[in-house]
Structure formats: structure tokens, C-alpha cells
Amino acid sequence: MPIELILIEILTLILFLAGNYFLKKTFGRGVSRFFQGILFVLAAYFIFKFVIFPPIPSALLYTYMGLICLVVFLLLSSTDSSWNEFQDPIIKTLEARTPGFKTVRMITFGVFPVLAGIGAYNFIKPNFQEPIELRTVHPAPPGAIQVHGSNMVLQEAKSPFRVDEQGKYSEGIENKYLKANPFDEKAPPYMKYVREGGEIFFQNCHFCHGDNLDARGMFAFAFNPIPANFTDPGTIAQLQETFVFWRVAKGGIGLPREGFPWASAMPPWEKHLTTDEMWKVIEFEYWHTGYYPRTWD
Amino acid sequence: MKTLKKSKKYVSLALLGMMFLSIFSFVLPLLQSTTAVAEDAAAPAGPPPTGKDVYYKTDGPVSGPPAPHLTAQDYPSTKLPGVFGESRLLIWTVAQQHLFFGSFVLAVPIFCMVIELVALLVKDPVASKRYDQLAYDFIKISLTAYSVTAILGGLLIFGFITLYPGVFGYVASLFRPFMHIYALLFLAESGTLYIYYYGWHSMEEGFLKWVHATLGILLNVFGTTLMMLANSWLAFMMAPSGVDEKGQFLGNYAHLLHSALWNPINIHRIIGNMVFGGGIVAAYSAYKFLSAKTKEQKAYYDWMGYIAMFFAVGSLIPLPFAGYWLMREVYAYRQQMGITLMGGLLAWLFILQAVLIGALFFAVVYYLFNGMQRMKGAERYDRVIKYVFFGMTVAFLVWLTPHTLVMKASELKAIGGQQHPVVGNFGVMSAKNGAVNTMLMITIFAFIIYQRANKIITVKWANLGNALLFSMFGVALFNNWWLAIYGYYIPANVRVGLSVPQVAGTLTCLFAGTALNLAMLKGAKSTGPILWGTISNRSQFAMFALGVSFTWLMALMGYIRSSVRLFWHAMEIMRDNSPWAFTHPIGFASNVMSVNVVIFWIFSLFVFWLAELSAGHRDVPSMEDSPAVKVKTTGGHAIAGASE
């Protein structure tokens, strides 16, 4: 996708340069600064709206276009000559000294009020569309939680199954066994836990989180919000392992107030799984995606 | 006569030394072991009970009362209608204004100190006089702002005592000795400021001028120490230390003072204040430029704006890295605070921050290219502008892309998650680090072009120098982008460390690149002088944008830092049980910040106006160099701006 995007941008640039060259050759002058600015804004809109797939959300599109308009304005006014050239058609339209510009002025002053009227109408008319949502994806966890009668301090707790061959806690051990076979009988303890975690995952979690942990399970799109995509670098890779444990154990119902009203539909797995089982699932998720949990040591 | 002068020297030096020692002698005993406090307090009841420090995990004798458990009835209210009845809003506004003016009176003296030292070091007497005048113009404004700060400080204290007596009483009981030092430092700073200002003209010659400049340094030492003490109180509220889990003091003042976030906040604020000082001066000079009546005034205020912008941007460059450090320490202290800030409730405020920072970079580059229009021969660089803006825009698009997208439910389903498969990748820190370093390098590159605008390089090794310069930027950019991509494949704690080599590349471009450029400009042919005062009016609005953006940023980031405690007065030690212990919606908070920014600028205009009242319509210093220096630098207008 990024390669296609870059190719389309290069093609747009070549088209512009070729068009400008043709105009210079035929009429002795290229595209004026004023129209260069308009063309640039339109090209950016076209790329953001139609080339990037899936389409980017409208809120982000407006943000991007706001920036593009601002930059085009800054660029066109950054030197005196460019600024004068940019203003020229605007001033000529306002002055309307020639019949051509008189017509342009009439059209402009006719069209702008109509556009403003349409805009005002659209703005104030009753709207039945779904509202734009700002959802907190990672609400802050509490300092400690109670799971199966035990108190767990989330800042300090560690997975009991993230261990090396000697049984010692090891950060990033998944990297060592990324290509190992969990079904190998001689697999180290860590891979044994990963296999058990995988079994639990495919019995309970894959319906929503997907076979590939990419949130494309068979039930995924029945929910709003859809389940977390663990392959995205912005989910489990950004979080401490105890955060993930908290979410698994307490589910959507255990989210703090800032997570509502768009709370996740995930059940509190502490009611169905043991503490060890939940840790093993988490080990499997990190091993499968190849990500490490966030640590500070 | 000679003996009199000599004795003046010694008296001045002795006075300075005594002032310095008398203030800091109070601090030293506090930083030693202070178990005596506990011994005294608990003497009649035998050995005192001990507690464990919540942060340092050390044991210590309980030496103070626990944090009070307040109820809603413990929070007096003003009974004003609507949101004005919210005590928190009143405290927020007064504290914000106090902070703005506090930063103003800390920042402008830093600016004055640097400018006065430049005046002392510049060889051209005319230019030296001009710098000196610039510094004097600003310390005068600072004097009025100092009074406003003190009044606002008084209002803040009254606000705390009347509206939050429980919280204030607890914090004051812990930090009592430091509050006394704070008051003494305030006195010392006031005294130094008055001597610094009123003694400006009587201390403008010879050795006394150096004493005066030293007073400027002392003024800043006092000011910065004051700020650090105030920082320790807010750092304690965010990340308490020196107390046990009940909030009882354990007798160690060093632990109390040196909480987990104290130093990152100190560094961030010092740099932030320098940026703020430059921003205020830039806005002031823009205002003066636009209202100037004569050519001379236009030239002087144009130059003043350039110096202020240079100072602000020079200080701005390390600021993002200080910010990263602070956020890293917050995250390391408590993951819930880090998540609330960067991925949770307050995350969208960081997008607003990104927009404001982006606006700063664009304003600076825009100003520089507009500034080149006042130099003959700079036209040859006009074609570079579009590439600079293009690079900045791409980096900025990455910089402002949020991790959590605001969208409709249908858009959410179409995308298949909260993260977009293409632009969603730009929402993470790795991409942001790459983007901000790219923006910084492009800004540095624009400045290097600005330095060359009216010069033709004549050194024999020009080609080699240019190749070196381009290679330096090329390698730094490649290193930056490669590390940004590599950051997606490694753990978060290692990724944070990658910002160090990225920053190293950027700083190399800044220091080595600028030094190399200056070496190449040695003996360069000038295509014409800088015609101060001929810059476009458009550029001055960029200067306003600079000042206002800084103010807005301070309000925004201050709010983020403070509200991350959510419903705690002192994190996990003292709960906020007031009726206002909730987090405002982003829109409401943004409106409060914006109103505060407007109030501050109205106040600032008043301060500027007051300074004008006493000055009348005096002449501005000449922008012409002295003839002797002119001859010396013909064909070698070596440092554009720095020598101007």
C-alpha cells in the first residue's frame, strides 16, 4: 500500500510537470501560482480521500486538509514575488477592469453566497447520522487488582511463565523461540506454556480475535468496538504485560469509567479461566505476534 | 580615584558573595540527614514508629501527621453561579496566570542575561550599545511583570487557604522549611532585580559592568532555584516520596524534595521558560514593528524580532527531548499515569500539542524565508522553499496522526479497528520520534540557508565543505528514519533508548553543521547588507503565532501534567473528595486554557503599555555598524544575524 501511494504521488507530480511544460510551450506561460495552489489542494484531497484504502476517517481527513491548505498558503506567501503572483488574479477579480474578470467576479460573488447558504443549511439541519466517537482505547489500569482472591500490584507483577530454561524470569524470551515448534516434545518450558496458552486461545478467544490474532475472527464485526488486533504495533506491544492481564481478567465489564460508553464486549475471563491459564494465553499472544511487553528495567 | 575604584570592586564582589552564601546556607543543613526532627517530636514517647518510603522504599521514623481524609464538606465554595462556583476552576485560572507571569519574569531575565553578555563580548561599540539597550528595554518590562506575578502569587495562596485548606495545610506541613527558603529567595530575587534594573546606567562602564552582568546571572540563579522549589511541591503531588503510604513524613528532606519527577520537570521548565521568553519578546517586537512610524524604528524592531526568534528557537530544539524524558519517567513511575497521558483519557490533548508545535516550526521556517527577502542575492534560494515546506509537511502529517482515531461506527468497521492499516502506523512513538527529528533537521537546514542568503562562499574548500554538510544531513536523516522503522520491531523500553542516537544526529547537524557553515562563510563575499526593517508585515504575524503558540502550549501541557493525577491530590496518598474531582471534557478544558491565554495576553499588553509610559517616544538605537567595524568586515559579513 505505501508503495502504491508513493507511485500515485509520483505520477501526479509527473502529470503536473508535463501539463505545466505543455502550457508553457503552447501559451508561453505555465500554471499561475493561484491555480498551482488550488491544484495542490485538490490533488492532496484526491489522494487522502480515494487513494488511501480503507478510507481514512472524516475527522482525520479534515485535519489533514486543514494543514495542507495552511501550508499551501504559507508557501505561496513566503516570498514577495510569489505572494504578488498569488494575489494577482484575486485583485484583478475584485477590480474587474476587463470584461473577462467582470464575468469571473459576477460568478464568484454569485457562487460564494450560494455555497455559504448550502453550508449553513447543512450545518443547522437536523442530522440523523451516527455521531463521531472519541473512544479511549487504553484506559488507565488501577494500581492493583484482586484476582481469584489474590492481590496483584500491576506496576510490579510479572508473568510466572516468562521463564528461560533455568526457570528464571526472562524479558523478550519469545524472540529466542520465535521459530521454535511448540509441539516439539523436547521444547523448553517456555514453549510448553506457549502451546498450552495457544490451546486455551483457540478454545476461547479466536472467535473474536481471529486465527491470526488480527481481530478478524468470525464474530469480530458483530461488535462495536471490534476486538483488539494484537498484530497492530499499537496494542499489546505498547503495554506492560500486567495491563494485558488486567484486561483479560476483568474484561469489558471491568473497564474504568473513561472506557465507557463504548466498552469492550469481552467477558471477564477470571470467571472462566484460572490465573495460570490467563498468563499462558498472554504468553501465546506475545509469542505469536513476536512483540515484547513494555518494561522499564 | 584609582583606590576608590578598586575598593568599589571589592565591595561589589564581597556583597555578591555574601548574598549568594546567605541564601544558600539555609539549604545545606536541610539536605543532610534530618532524623533529629523525628527524635525531637517523639522524645517523650520513646522510640518513634517507623514507616516505609513509598518511592525510595527506605525505612524512616514517622515525623509528621498522615494525609487527611477529606470529605466534600471540607472544600469551601464561593457559591458563584454556574461553572464559576467550581473552586477548582478558580484555582486553575489563578495558578495558570501566576505560572504565565512567573515564567515571564524568569524567562525575560534569562533573555536579558544572555543579551547583556553578548553586548559585553561584541567588539563593535555601536552593536554593543544596541544589544545593551535591547536587554535594558526588556528588564524594564520584567519589573512590572514581577509585581503582577507577586500579586497573582498572593491571590493563589489566598485561594489555596480559603478554597483548599486541607490540601494546602498538608503540603505546607511537609514543605514548611522549603517554604521559608522560598520566601527568602523571593526577597533576594526582588532585591537583585531592583539593583539590576536601577543600577543599569550607573554600572555601565568598566569593571562595574561585569559586576552588573554577574548580578544578572545571580538573578537567574535565584529565579531558577525559586522555580525548582515550587516544582518540588507539584512533583510531590504527582509522585510522592519521603512519606509512607499514609502520607506521614519520614524525616528525610532530601527524599521529600527529590521525588521521581522533580528533575525532569525542572529541566523541562527551565528550557520551556527560555522558549517562552523568546516568544514574548518576539510578539512584542512584532507589535512594535507593525506600529512603527519611522524607518529607524522598523529596523530596530525587525532586528529585535530576529534576535528573539533566534533565542526562542535555539531553546526550542532541546525541548522535545526534555519532554520525552519527563514522559518516560512518568510512565516508569506509574503505568496508569503514562497510559492516561499517552494512550488514554488525555491522549487527544497530545494531538493538540502536536498541532501547536507544528505551527511553531512552520512559523519559524516561514519567518526565515520571509527574512531572506530583505537580503539582496537571496533570490537564488527561493526555489528551495517548496522542498523545505514539502519535507516539513510530510513530517508534520506523521507527527499529528493520532494513535486513537476519532471516527464514526461505520468508519470503525470499514477500517477494521481503531488503528488504520496505513496511517495507523504513524500513531506510535517510533514514527513520532522520526517525524520530530526530521522537522528539526529541516528547520536547521533552513537556518543554514538563511545564514548563506547574502553571501558568496569564497573558501577554496567550498565544494568539500558542501559535500560534508550534505553528507552530514544525509547520514543524520538516514539514521533517523532507519531507527524510526527499526523501532517497530523492538520492545518499547529499547525503543525509548533509540531516541538518543536520533537526537545525536539532529544535534550534530545543529552544532557541527552550523559551525561548518560558519567556517565556510569566513571571508565570504557579501551580496549586500541585511536591510533591517524591510521584512514583510506577513512575517510579523508568524512572530505573533510564535508567542501565542508557546503560551497555549504551556497552558495545555500544564493542564495535562496536573490532571493526570485524576482524583488524587497527592497520588495514591491523598484523595480528592471535592465535588470537582472529575476530569473535564477536552472541549471544556480547551476553552478554559484558551480563555487563560487571552487573559494573559491582555495583561501582557498592559505591561507593555506601562513600559512605554515611562519611556515616552525615545529614539531607538542605530542599526548601522560603526565605520571601523564596517571596514573590517567588508567582504566578510561573517555571521548573519549573530553579528548583526
Contact (CB<8Å) B415/A75: no
3-state secondary structure of B502: helix
Task: Indicate the residue type of B12.
Answer: S
At A96 the three-state DSSP class reads coil
> In which band, very low, low, confident or very high, does the pLDDT at A223 lie, cut at 50, 70 and 90?
confident
Q: In chain A, helix, strand, coil percent, each to 5?
A: 55, 5, 40
The three-point CA angle A94-A95-A101 to 5° equals 80
Residues of B in contact with A57 (CB under 8 A): 405-408, 411, 415, 420
Predicted pLDDT at B427: 84
Instruction: Identify the pLDDT of residue B635.
Output: 36
Q: What is the mean pLDDT of residues B369-394?
A: 92
State the first-to-last Cα distance of chain A, in angstroms, to the nearest integer: 37
Cα A270–Cα A276–Cα A277 angle in degrees, nearest 5: 65
What is the reported pLDDT for B618?
A: 64
Buried b (16+ CB within 10 A) or exposed e, B13-31: eeebeebeeebeeebeeee
Of the ranges A145-154, A235-244, A259-268, B230-239, which one carries the lowest mean pLDDT score? Answer: A259-268
Q: Which amino acid is at B127?
A: A
Percentages (nearest 5) of helix, strand, coil residues in chain B: 75, 5, 25
SS3 per residue for B509-572: HHHHHHHHHHHHCCCCEECCCECCCCCCHHHHHHHHHHHHHHHHHHHHHHHHHHHCCCCEEECC
Mean pLDDT of the region B278-289: 90
Determine the residue of chain A that is closest to B491 in CA distance: A292
Of B408, B428, B586, the CB nearest to A234: B428
Alpha-carbon gap: B399 to the closest alpha carbon of chain A (Å): 11
Q: Tell whether ipTM is more than 0.90.
A: no
- For residue B536, list chain A residues with Cβ-Cβ distance below 8 A: 80, 83
Nearest CA in chain A to B399: A64
**pLDDT at B124 exceeding the cut of 90:** no
DSSP state of A47: I
A144's enclosing H/E stretch is strand A144-147
Identify which of B345, B364, B131, B425 has the alpha carbon closest to the alpha carbon of residue A237: B425
Q: What is the pLDDT of residue A1?
A: 55
Best B55, B335, B374 residue to mutate vs chain A (most A CBs within 10 Å): B335
- From the list B285, B289, B294, B298, the residue with the least C-alpha distance to B134 is B285
CA closest to A142 among chain B residues:
B336
In percent, the amount of chain B with pLDDT more than 70 equals 89
Report the 10 Å Cβ neighbour count for B292: 17
**Local confidence band at B626 (pLDDT 50, 70, 90 cut-offs):** low
**Which of A160, A224, A232, A158 has its CA nearest to residue A193?**
A160
Checking DSSP bridges between strand A144-147 and strand A150-153, what pairing results, if any? antiparallel
Dist. CA B367–CA B539, nearest whole Å: 5
Nearest CA in chain A to B417: A226
Q: Which residues of B touch A261 (CB under 8 A)?
A: none
CB contact under 8 A, A78 and B412: no
Residue with more model confidence, B599 or B291: B599
Q: How far is CA B252 from CA B41, B161, B242, B451, in A?
A: 14, 26, 6, 53
* Residue indicated by cell numbers 499514609: B246
Average pLDDT over residues B357-366: 91
Distance (Å) from the alpha carbon of B165 to chain A's nearest alpha carbon = 28
Q: Is B50 strand, coil or helix?
A: strand
Give the model's pLDDT for residue B6.
59
CA distance A103 to chain B (A): 31
Mutate to test the interface with B, among A40, A62, A74 (most CBs of B within 10 A): A74
Do the chains contact at A52 and B422, CB–CB below 8 Å?
Answer: yes
Residue B23 pLDDT class (50, 70, 90 cuts): low
B538-586 tens-digit pLDDT: 999 999 999 999 999 999 999 999 999 988 999 999 999 999 888 888 8
More reliable by pLDDT, B368 or B405: B368
Give the gyration radius of chain A's Cα atoms. 29
**Are the beta carbons of B492 and A292 separated by less than 8 Å?**
yes
pLDDT in tens, A46-76: 999 988 888 899 889 999 999 999 999 999 9
Assess whether pLDDT exceeds 50 at residue B632.
no
Residue B142 distance to chain A (closest CA, Å): 33
Size of interface A-B (CB pairs under 8 A): 191
Nearest CA distance, A163 vs chain B (angstrom): 17
* Other residues' Cβ atoms within 10 Å of the Cβ of residue B401: 25
Between CA B543 and CA B550, with CA B546 as vertex, the angle to 5 degrees is 155
pLDDT at B145: 86
State how far the Cα of B246 lies from the Cα of B67, in Å rounded to an integer: 6
| Amino acid identity at B364 | V
What is the tens place of the pLDDT at every residue in B47-78?
A: 778 999 999 999 999 999 999 999 999 999 88
Report CB contact under 8 Å: B422, A226. Answer: no
Taking contacts as CB-CB distances below 8 angstroms, the residues of chain A near B428 are 233-234, 238
| Span B577-604, average pLDDT | 92
Which tops the pLDDT comparison, B429 or B98?
B98
Q: Over chain A, what is the mean pLDDT?
A: 89
How many residues can be counted in chain B?
644
Give percent above pLDDT 90 in chain A: 52
Nearest residue on chain B to A72, judged by CA atoms? B389
CA A251 to chain centre: 23
First-to-last C-alpha distance (Å) of chain B: 37
Least confident of B396-405, B430-439, B474-483: B396-405
Instruction: Render the burial of A148-173: b for 16+ CB within 10 Å, e for the rest.
Output: eeeebebeebebebbbeeeeeeebbb
CB contact under 8 A, B358 and A296: no
Q: Is the pLDDT confidence value at B33 over 60?
A: no
Least confident of A114-118, A219-223, B179-183: A219-223
CB atoms within 10 A of CB A262: 17
- Rounded to the nearest integer, the mean pLDDT of chain B is 86
Sort out which chain A residues have CB atoms less than 8 A from B414's CB and list them. Answer: 54-55
Which amino acid would we find at residue B516?
A: L
- The sign of the torsion formed by the CA atoms of B96, B98, B101, B107 equals negative
The answer to whether residue B483 scores a pLDDT higher than 90 is yes
Whether residues A295 and B406 touch (CB distance < 8 A) is answered with no
Contact A133 B407 (CB under 8 A): yes
Interface residue of A137, A162, A175 to substitute, partner B, most B CBs within 10 Å: A137
At residue B634 the predicted structure's pLDDT band, cuts being 50, 70 and 90, is very low
DSSP B329-346: HHHHH-HHHHHHHHTSTT
Residue B125 pLDDT? 85
Q: Specify the DSSP class assigned to residue B418.
A: S
Does the pLDDT at position B97 exceed 90?
A: yes
Which chain B residue lies closest to A175 (C-alpha atoms)? Answer: B490
